[in-house]
């Protein structure tokens, strides 16, 4: 039998689980930004790398307000979040050479949200040929780059994009 080595998954199955909303936990734990993958914060939202991404550099833009309904967000928060999505898109295109980007929100479990209790945007960098048979057949994703290296690149350049 052949094996795929995926050491980052060990942390997922062994780490202490957060009680309550994971996004509210990240919001409140500003001292752990590097550990949590936070790239940028402002008064209305923050940008964080998805710890278990669809593709390398997968970012999420999360409002500071805990809600599962976008219609409950203040218009100022909505505008700020939308601006951060635009800036994050430029960032992954420039710094990661993404050839395309998927942007989206899954509102509710029925719509596919993994964390349904707190709305958030996904900004997913894409490259031609970035998917192959292994995702469909083996239910496995392969990332050709190190998570921490991508985080460092994005974090170190964040103030050039999120202004």
Give the span between the Cα atoms of 56 and 125, in whole angstroms.
7
Q: Looking at residue 133, what is its pLDDT? A: 47
Domain boundaries, the chain: 8-161
Ranking 2-6, 25-29, 100-104 by mean pLDDT, the lowest is 2-6
Catalytic residue among 58, 118, 120, 122: 120
| pLDDT for 134 | 47
Write the pLDDT tens digit of every residue in 26-41.
999 999 999 999 999 9
Options 3.30.428.10, 3.40.50.80, 3.40.190.10, 3.40.1190.20; CATH of 8-161: 3.30.428.10
User: Which residue would you say has higher pLDDT here, 3 or 89?
Assistant: 89
d(CA 112, CA 107): 7
pLDDT of residue 51: 86
Measured CA to CA, the distance from residue 61 to residue 58 in angstroms comes to 10
Mean pLDDT of 58-85: 97
Average pLDDT over all residues of the chain: 86
- Nearest to 57, CA basis, from 150, 158, 161: 150
Mean pLDDT of 6-14: 56
Asked whether the CA dihedral 33, 64, 11, 94 is positive or negative, the reply is negative
57: left (phi over 0), alpha (psi -120 to 50) or beta: left
For residue 67, pLDDT over 60 is answered with: yes
Would you tell me how many other CB atoms lie within 10 Å of the CB of residue 81? 26
- pLDDT band at residue 131 using 50, 70 and 90 as cut-offs: low
120 in active site: yes
């Amino acid at each position: 039998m052949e094996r795929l080595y995926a050491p980052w998954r060990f942390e997922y199955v062994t780490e202490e689980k957060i009680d309550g909303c994971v996004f509210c936990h990240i919001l409140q734990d500003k001292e752990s930004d590097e550990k949590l993958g936070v790239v940028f914060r402002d008064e209305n939202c923050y940008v964080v790398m998805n710890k278990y991404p669809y593709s390398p550099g997968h970012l999420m833009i999360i409002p500071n307000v805990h809600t599962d309904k976008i219609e409950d967000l203040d218009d100022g928060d909505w505008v700020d979040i939308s601006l951060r999505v635009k800036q994050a898109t430029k960032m992954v295109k420039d710094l990661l050479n993404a050839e395309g980007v998927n942007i989206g929100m899954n509102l509710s479990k029925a719509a596919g949200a993994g964390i349904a209790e707190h709305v958030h945007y996904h900004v997913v960098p894409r490259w031609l040929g970035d998917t192959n048979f292994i995702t469909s057949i083996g239910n496995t994703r392969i990332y050709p780059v190190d998570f921490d290296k991508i985080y460092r690149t994005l974090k170190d350049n964040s103030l050039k994009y999120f202004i």
